[in-house]
Structure 1
Amino acid sequence: MAAPRNVTATRDEEKGEDDDSPSAKKPKLERFPLNTWEFAAAVAVFFVFSTGLFCIYLTMPPAAYTSLKIPRTLSDLRLLKEDLSMYASNNPAQFILGYCSTYIFMQTFMIPGTIFMSLLAGALFGVVRGILLVVFNATAGASSCFFLSKLIGRPLVTWLWPEKLRFFQAEIAKRRDKLLNYMLFLRITPTLPNLFINLASPIVDVPFHVFFLATLVGLVPAAYITVRAGLALGDLKSIKDLYDFKTLSVLFLIGFVSIVPTLLKRKRVYE
């Protein structure tokens, strides 16, 4: 009787090894990608940033605390703008410090809502100062996210976007000689999400100076569009209205101009 049981067990093991069903792969996919050290490092960095942000908020008057809320809808943003207008006018330095700290914190830890912060900059500070604030904060936050990903990001990005990461790595490898132009194209156009670019760039060995310059310059067109929309916040009906067909066409046209040197060089090589 022992022999049949062994044969059955062997067949069950072989079946288990060859089982490619989603249920068989599910435990592997659901495994958290960060080990204990990486998770502890992420928590420590988050704690340091949170402590700094909390200390900045303590400098604000108690009356302003009730108005503090990360906007999630245009209605929230309009209310926040009305509540903070007076404080921003009376305490510009304190407000800008709190605004910049919040924006960079959100960008570093991939917290949704930075587009509302960009709209708020336009509504409160106008076009020129609004663009300067948005580009500075977006670049600083993206750079901070870059170094955080360099520290612990590889297993997380590989876990979340394996196919997209392989595609990005192959594209970067093909464009090493004109990498700045390619990164500018990605920043200007919505070809890849900025969140993915921030996290994946250090993993595929994009040099930081290239990443920084492409971010600083490439985010200007989108910042201009968002800040200008913030001036007419009352007329804005949906976030989707920011990027209609005309706006996307302009962004892709600017992005195409940024990669013209790469295309011309490739043409000369083939000739």
Structure 2
Amino acid sequence: MRSLAGLGALVAAASFFLYLLSTHLPPGTKHLQPASEGEEETVEEYSLKFPSDLDSLRELAEMLKLYKREHYSYVLLLFCSAYLYKQSFAIPGSSFLNMLAGAIFGPWEGLVLACLLTTVGSTFCFLLSSAFGKQHVVHFFPDKVALLQRKVEENRSSLFFFLLFLRFFPMTPNWFLNITCPVLNIPMPIFFFSVLIGLIPYNFICVRTGSILSEISSLDDIFSWTTLAQLLAIALMALLPGAVIKRYGEAHLRVDGMDGEDQIRKER
């Protein structure tokens, strides 16, 4: 009970901090709205809300890009805080934030941010699970934990590549791996670098897609040769490391029995 109370206090404190960041924006948060014929220009306040679809994602990205011109550091702090909050408390759904990173910061800066924040946030989640949640993870997911424990022991000699395999081909969702690895006695360095390297293809796809979406203004842009070439390059770069890991896994890893009835639906 004490562990749940401590975790609840951390969640409450982090939620309050994120709320303050999102509601107490620094000065300069207004911009002019173009006026229709016969009307005067109006001043609109920036407002923040989490995107629920691609349209709202694009609106939020455009707003934050404008705001970033005056307050880059604040936008960076706000984005990093929101990302770490979601990752640290194992909240599924990182794809929207990855796409937002690409739309706001561009493909390469966004990719570096996404990879670093995913790794640091997952490590925080690992530490929180180790401190507060081991017994609860085993209690609520006994079969899945037992399956992963068995596979970890079978692949103990190639543990790093086994974890890479699970990140490239998520037979279990990433948030579940983050909270389960302390139970499985995965060493912190192996966990850290398996997340950093293993999620690069996924982060790359999402960030690059977000960057492209921010540049598209009509359906014609989606089917332009430039956009199609970019999407093809994204697919090739994402598939190549996965193919290498899969080939290695077929020869050296034992992952049979981790799909079918035992597979957890992928939730990012």
The reply on whether 1:210 has 2:204 as its aligned counterpart is: no
Q: Which residue of structure 2 aligns with residue 80 of structure 1?
A: 60
Task: Say whether the 8 Å CA contact 1:180–1:214 is kept in structure 2.
Answer: yes
Q: Which residue of structure 2 aligns with residue 181 of structure 1?
A: 161
> Among residues 112, 119, 128, which one is paired with 1:139 in the alignment?
119
* Alpha-carbon distance in 2 for matches of 1:227, 1:72: 17
The reply on whether 1:48 has 2:48 as its aligned counterpart is: no
SS at match of 1:232: helix
* Alpha-carbon distance in 1 for matches of 2:132, 2:20: 26
> Among residues 220, 233, 241, which one is paired with 1:254 in the alignment?
241
Task: Say whether the 8 Å CA contact 1:188–1:252 is kept in structure 2.
Answer: no
Alignment of 1:1-271 (within 5 A): 36-57=1-22, 60-61=25-26, 63=29, 66-233=46-213, 234=216, 254-258=241-245
Query: Which amino acid is 1:85 matched to?
Result: K
Identify if the C-alpha distance between structure 1 residues 197 and 251 changes in structure 2 by more than 3 Å, giving closer, same or farther. Answer: farther
Identify if the C-alpha distance between structure 1 residues 205 and 117 changes in structure 2 by more than 3 Å, giving closer, same or farther. Answer: same
TM-score between both structures, scaled by the size of structure 1: 0.73
Instruction: State the Cα deviation string for residues 126-145 of structure 1 (Å, max 9, x = none).
Output: 21101001011111110010
**Paired residues, what number?**
224
Task: Say whether the 8 Å CA contact 1:72–1:113 is kept in structure 2.
Answer: no
Which of the two has greater helix per residue?
Answer: 1
TM-score between both structures, scaled by the size of structure 2: 0.73
* Alpha-carbon distance in 1 for matches of 2:195, 2:84: 14
Query: Which amino acid is 2:100 matched to?
Result: L
* Alpha-carbon distance in 2 for matches of 1:254, 1:162: 32
* Alpha-carbon distance in 2 for matches of 1:252, 1:232: 19
Question: Which stretch shows the higher mean deviation, 142-151 or 81-90?
Answer: 81-90
| C-alpha RMSD over aligned residues | 2.9
Identify if the C-alpha distance between structure 1 residues 231 and 223 changes in structure 2 by more than 3 Å, giving closer, same or farther. Answer: same
Unaligned runs of 5+ in 2: 31-44, 223-233, 254-268
SS at match of 2:106: helix
What's the CA shift for 1:88? 1.7
Task: Say whether the 8 Å CA contact 1:67–1:84 is kept in structure 2.
Answer: no
Unaligned runs of 5+ in 1: 1-35, 238-246, 267-271
Instruction: State the Cα deviation string for residues 31-82 of structure 1 (Å, max 9, x = none).
Output: xxxxx21211111221332344345446622648852112222222122112
Task: Say whether the 8 Å CA contact 1:71–1:113 is kept in structure 2.
Answer: no
Q: Which residue of structure 2 aligns with residue 240 of structure 1?
A: none
* Alpha-carbon distance in 2 for matches of 1:75, 1:58: 22
Query: Which amino acid is 1:179 matched to?
Result: L
Task: Say whether the 8 Å CA contact 1:189–1:252 is kept in structure 2.
Answer: no
* Alpha-carbon distance in 2 for matches of 1:163, 1:59: 45
Query: Which amino acid is 1:48 matched to?
Result: A
* Alpha-carbon distance in 2 for matches of 1:176, 1:121: 35
Identify if the C-alpha distance between structure 1 residues 157 and 101 changes in structure 2 by more than 3 Å, giving closer, same or farther. Answer: same
* Alpha-carbon distance in 2 for matches of 1:134, 1:250: 17
* Alpha-carbon distance in 2 for matches of 1:228, 1:252: 15
